[in-house]
Amino acid sequence: MDTPFYVQFFWFLGALLFILGLKGMSSPVTARKGIVWAGYGMIIAVVATFFVPGLQNIALMVAALLIGSAVAWISGQKVQMTDMPQMVAIYNGMGGGAAAAIAAVEFSRGGHHDLATTTLTVIGALIGAVSFTGSCVAFAKLQGIMKKAFRLPAQNTVNVVLALLSVVLGVAVIGMSPADPMLIVLFFVVALVLGLIVTLPIGGADMPVVISLFNAFTGLAVGFEGYMQNNPTLIIAGIVVGASGTLLTQLMAKAMNRPLTNILFSPITGNGEGGQAIEGTMKELNALDAAAMMRYASKVIIVPGYGMAVAHAQHKVWEMTALLEEAGVEVKFAIHPVAGRMPGHMNVLLAEAGVPYDKIYDLEEINGEFPQCDVALIIGANDVVNPTARTDKSSPIYGMPILDADMAQNVIVIKRGKGTGYSGVENALFYTDNCRMLYGDAQPMAGEIIQHLKTMG
């Protein structure tokens, strides 16, 4: 039965809103609006689908929608900003799982499609299933449910064998019409295990890149299933997600100077392997001295990192910035593309605290300003300001573009102790003559600085 024109029109409208929403999300100024538009697009597309003639199991669909919406609403209200990566992982996994489930239902019905459609359905099923289990592992690791990376003795060989086996089974499913149910089950089992096995050895901190990759996979899977269902909204939404996920994955891999193959097949262990020994000592200062150095500076650049997110210190940091500005100090924020644990992590936190966008600068924009700045204040950042990335070829972060905080006249680092960053390597910056360490949790430390700034007037 043909889909009526008005349903197609509303699907088209939904797809248009997805694209406009994505465009909005490309800037922090319009991101909130973009998300709302994409949300309206989704509501329009879902409601329009109920008007497709001959629809069955409407009660089941409504029940699934109600349960799904309730779970998403409650978890969306409760989630902490620092737990956002795992939330993205699990929702992404659901998308991949849904695409695989659509294909499974189609196979079980034994529907007759042309070769191209069956092939796309099988490819969609494969990547959807891989993305489902892989995203579940990513969620478990980021949520702390799965604490250790698990690596098989011949991990890469096992990956290749499973990948080949799933392709062979997929080709067999395409060739046999209708396919044997056992063959279909075996195909899905191998694809699900492949997602698990590929993801298990990857460390928690590499997960955002992997989640982004799975996100791109899910988009493709949804797009392919949309082709099989003859549903343009699914095709467009899938392509949009697939393309943006691919670009984001590339951006993160580039910002870490690590090829994707390296992230997937030679994950960073975080145990500090590699890197030359660093000479010198770390020199301490107290909150009063830190406040005085910044209060009497003309220009301060703040470099936030993962530790600021963990400490939820963004509101205090903004309060401190406002006091410095009142005292006539020029303050800017320098954001590394992979500061924190997901792209845009710092931008979102600072925006949440009320920091205006025009004070936030990307790496390329701000790096030239460090030599003219009196104080670079590093709050819970480590790898993104590690100068060994420029010089030490044996370091796991060699080649990663960094913020040139070491070139500032003075550097103050707020962190709790001598802990390394995610890469596990020592930071040469902390041992330099112009650097002073302010040990403590970022939030109370920023609070102490605020008190001193207030006393100084």
- Which residues are catalytically annotated? 383
Taking CB under 6 A as the rule, does residue 311 contact ligand NAP? yes
Number of residues lying near ligand NAP (CB under 6 A): 35
What is the spatial distance between Cα 355 and Cα 28, in angstroms, rounded to a whole number?
12
Least separation in angstroms between CB 402 and ligand NAP: 9
Piece of the chain touching ligand NAP by CB under 6 A; list 55-63, 115-123, 301-309, 364-372: 301-309
List, as own/partner pairs, every contact residues 318-321 make where C-beta atoms lie below 8 angstroms and the sequence separation is at least 24, other chains included. 318/350, 318/353, 318/354, 318/355, 319/446, 319/450, 320/446, 320/449, 320/450, 320/453, 321/355, 321/359
Q: Would you count residue 426 as binding ligand NAP (CB under 6 A)?
A: no
- Of residues 209 and 376, the one with the C-beta less far from ligand NAP: 209
The three-state secondary structure class of 106 is helix
**Which sign does the torsion angle of CA 126, 127, 130, 135 carry?**
negative
Distance, in Å, from the CA atom of 363 to the CA atom of 447, rounded to the nearest integer, reads 27
Cβ density class 337-354: b for 16+ within 10 Å, e for less: bbbbbbbbbbbbbbbebe
| Distance of alpha carbon 77 from the chain centroid | 19
Q: Is residue 214 at the binding interface for ligand NAP, with CB under 6 A as the rule?
A: no
Give least dist CB 361 to ligand NAP, A: 16
Per CB under 6 A, does 312 bind ligand NAP?
A: no
- Decide if residue 416 touches ligand NAP (CB under 6 A): yes
Q: Which residue is nearest to ligand NAP (CB)?
A: 421
By CB under 6 A, residue 381 contacts ligand NAP: yes
- With binding defined as CB under 6 A, does residue 310 bind ligand NAP? yes
The piece of 115-123, 276-284, 334-342, 361-369 that touches ligand NAP (CB under 6 A) is: 334-342
Q: Is 345 in the site for ligand NAP (CB under 6 A)?
A: yes
Chain centroid to CA 137? 15
Q: Does 307 bind ligand NAP (CB under 6 A)?
A: yes
∠ CA 185-189-159 to the nearest 5 degrees?
Answer: 145
State yes or no: residue 141 binds ligand NAP (CB under 6 A): no
Residues in the site for ligand NAP, rule: CB under 6 A?
A: 205-206, 208-209, 252, 256, 305-307, 310-311, 338-343, 345, 380-384, 414-423, 441-442
